[in-house]
Structure 1
Amino acid sequence: MKNLYCILLLFLTYISYANDGVYLTHGGVIYPTKETKIALEKEILSFKVSPEGIASVTIQFTFNNPENISRKLLIGFQAPTAVGDVSNEMKNRNQISNFIILQNEKILPYEIKKTECENCELKNVNEIDFVETEVGVFVYLFEITFKPGMNEIQHSYEFPYSSNVAINEFYNYILTTGSKWAGGKIKDLTITIDMGKNSYFYVNDIFDKNTEWSIIGTGKVTQDKFDYIDNDFCKMIRILNGYLQIKCYQFEPKKNIEFGIVNKLSFITYPIHHEKIKEGKIVSLGKMQLDGNYSKNELRLMRNTIYAQYGYVFNTPDLKEYFSQFGWYIPNPNLKMEDIQLEQFEKDFIEKIISKENQ
């Protein structure tokens, strides 16, 4: 199963990793480097994803300059190009928008450079044309003066979701640059992920066992998980209202974080429920297309899956038992059928199912 997804990820993929690193100038050539004195004391990283699939990112950094003098550093915010089945035009289009860096309540100026790789020299934008088969990097360059002691930096930007044939939407962030500051660790890290109401999404678990996973609001970190690329297991998160919060301390980032939605239409998804779907024990809505030969019972289960995803409590024992096996199912005894506000595509699909059931 894992190998299948590794192959699938080669196609239709748009990557939007991004984060900050320290740069130095060597004879007029700018390269990233490792900072040996200034440490990353605290990082609060927040993602809020819109229904249209735009991630708004806000980051609050606290850096500690242990020296008695101020130090000015050249910082580079890296944003790799889209990869996969994309045109040259898309390859040269920066996916980041509304980029703002704030220090002492002042917006800092920046300039954008291009480079062929994360550790290559930086060049002017018009000096490089990225092509379809290569991965390039856009770099926002700005200077920050770190006074002695603690320094607060605020950062924000937006970027669209990425996708591939296995995952409908996914979002990335480079955490590994946190290891390039003094000490090689993020001493206090908080990550919040808000995917909206009534959501079911995955997060790759790159954290140690002492990490705190909690829901701020109503929902749960389910027992569902699936094996993803690079031996990362992904946890499945169920949110009714609110968001996920991840907290860890003395974190040495060795991998980057990814989260996303496997299937926007159905909580019953192949990576998590692959074996049961394969054996015919459960029925997935898939792409909400009735392109197979379904039994009357399968059609009934598909139709009621839509209501189950809203938390509807069923009266019949077989439906209660069927949906109780899913980690995403949170029955709401106060929810009435007439209170459920279906999306138009859900209404259309239910009508198709009812038509099939009546045949």
Structure 2
Amino acid sequence: MKYSIRCLLWLLIATTQVFFANDGAYYASGNHLVPITDADIAVTKEILKVTRYKEEFLSVDVYYEFYNHGNDKKVLVGFEAPSPSGDVDGYPINGKHPYINRFSVEMNTVNLSYKTAIVSDSLYYKNGEILAKTENEVIGSDFNTNDPEFYYVYHFNANFKKGKNVIRHKYIFKLSGSVMDKYSFDYILTAANRWSNKQIDDFTLIVDMGNEASFSINKSFYSGNEDWEITGKGLKSFNKEREFTDFYIEEGSLTFHKKNFVSKDELYISSSRNFQYCQKEEFDAQECTIIPFDISFQEKLQDVKDEKSYKILRNLPYARRGYVFKTDFIQAYYQKQSWYTKNPTYVAELEPLTKAEKNWLKFLKANVSF
């Protein structure tokens, strides 16, 4: 096992925890499966799909193809997970991570059993065994539930036959958040370099944050906007100041595909609070020059200052879909939004809107006197 790579990874995890310590909650990270015992096994294909649901959770579904160049062998495979930190409850639940659920592994169509170990550092495998700690050992009188000083390793025995082997890996975890971000999460891509080929021969990443969603992906493992394909309807825009690509997805998902993929950095996705909505008790179009695309932020927009602001606000669902407004001041307002793209063929109709949008419009109308 390459301990230098592992130590760098765990340093990154520790840095992530410190970042969230004072202004939010870090719950969990996604991570690549890694070989705990040395093995001449290569990652030939990976399809990683991350899906946000119920606004506050992330579902991870990974399809792996591994190639065993030698004879049949048993390999101890692990999934390394840092403890949560910040405004969290860091106590283990039956020895497992408190915010990771529905963990499952299937290899060559057979469901595999797994165990969870609590470990104190990256060098947890010595002399043929995992140096696991008990809950009593890690939770003492001075235990800080907001900053646990231990990690989790989910591990299982994988019987690799000679040639191609398929593993399906799934789990769910709670999305992190902070004063700055409504939600955020990271996924450790560099851990894939610990397999024998030091890369993923054929890598596909699918990102589905839901319809009418806005979020950013840090420019780390990809070169530019052209590396991302939007399946459905949406807009992408590179933010030079923040070194992020901003995405506005009306419907659909994103896909990143790369052959001979060697990542030197990690995936980080966030949805910022600061520029998503004007932080006022009532919406004033004159002062609030930025309005959210993401449907989850419309709950903050429930009151207006004047009739002009109301007319702009009630047309937000149609602006998301690119409606070209005949009223000049409404068109001028939305034309300035970074996410707005004209769609001359779109006809504004109430019925095709989402249930959440229709309920919001109904509430808005009932609470104004214009």
- TM-score after normalising by structure 2: 0.75
Aligned match of 1:324:
335
Superposed displacement of residue 327, structure 1: 3.6
Residue among 94, 97, 103 paired with 2:107 = 103
Q: Give SS of 1:144's match.
A: strand
Task: Evaluate the alpha carbon distance shift between residue 347 and residue 117 of structure 1 in structure 2; reply closer, same or farther with a 3 A threshold.
Answer: farther
- Matched letter for residue 95 of structure 1: Y
Tell me the equivalent position of 1:29. none
* CA-based RMSD: 3.4
In 2 relative to 1, CA 329–284 (structure 1 residues): closer, same or farther, beyond 3 Å? closer
1:108 maps to amino acid:
L
Query: 2:220 is matched by which residue type in structure 1?
Result: I
Paired with 2:149 and 2:331, the residues of 1 have a C-alpha distance of 49
Deviation at 1:103, TM superposition (A): 0.8
Residue 86 of structure 1, aligned match among 85, 88, 96: 88
Measure how far apart 1:306 and its partner are.
Answer: 5.0
After TM superposition, give the deviation of residue 115 of structure 1 in Å: 1.6
Partner SS, residue 177 of structure 2? coil
Q: Distance in 1 between matches of 2:134 and 2:195?
A: 27
Is the 8 Å Cα contact of residues 84 and 90 (structure 2) preserved in structure 1?
no
1:172 pairs with one of 186, 203, 208: 186
Aligned ranges for residues 1-359 of structure 1 at < 5 Å? 10-19=22-31, 20-24=33-37, 35=38, 37-67=40-70, 69-89=71-91, 93-120=97-124, 122-126=131-135, 127-129=137-139, 131=144, 132-209=146-223, 212-220=227-235, 222-225=236-239, 233-263=243-273, 268=276, 282-284=289-291, 301-305=312-316, 307-332=318-343, 333-339=345-351, 340-341=353-354, 342=357, 344-345=359-360, 347-349=362-364, 351-352=366-367, 354-355=368-369, 358=370
- For the 8 Å contact 1:262–1:269, the answer to whether it is kept is no
Match of 2:9 in 1: none
Structure 2 gaps of 5+ residues are 1-17, 126-130, 279-283
Q: Is the 8 A contact 2:63 2:167 kept in 1?
A: yes
Distance in 1 (alpha carbons) for counterparts of 2:21 and 2:180:
7
Instruction: Work out the CA distance in 1 between the residues paired with 2:305 and 2:57.
Output: 36
Separation in 1, partners of 2:316, 2:240: 21
Superimposed CA distance per residue, residues 284-320 of structure 1 (whole angstroms, 9 cap, x where no aligned partner): 4678558999676556544544542354432112322
Q: 1:19-71 deviations in whole A, cap 9, x for unaligned?
A: 222214xxxxxxxxxx573221111100122134222211011112222x122
Distance 1:208 1:256, change over 3 A: closer
Report SS of the residue matched to 1:99: strand
Contact 2:62 2:170 in 1 (8 A): yes
Q: CA deviation at 1:140?
A: 0.8
Tell me: CA distance 1:125–1:96, structure 2 relative to 1, closer, same or farther (3 Å). farther
Secondary structure in structure 1 of the residue aligned to 2:25: coil
Q: Identity rate of aligned residues, in percent? A: 26
The answer for unaligned runs of 5 or more in structure 1 is: 1-5, 25-34, 271-276
Deviates more, 1:134-143 or 1:107-116: 134-143
Kept in 2: contact 1:201–1:237 (CA 8 A): yes
CA-to-aligned-CA distance 1:199-218 (integer Å, 9 cap, x gap): 22222222243873101222
Give the number of equivalent residue pairs: 325
Q: Give the alignment's TM-score, normalised by structure 1.
A: 0.77
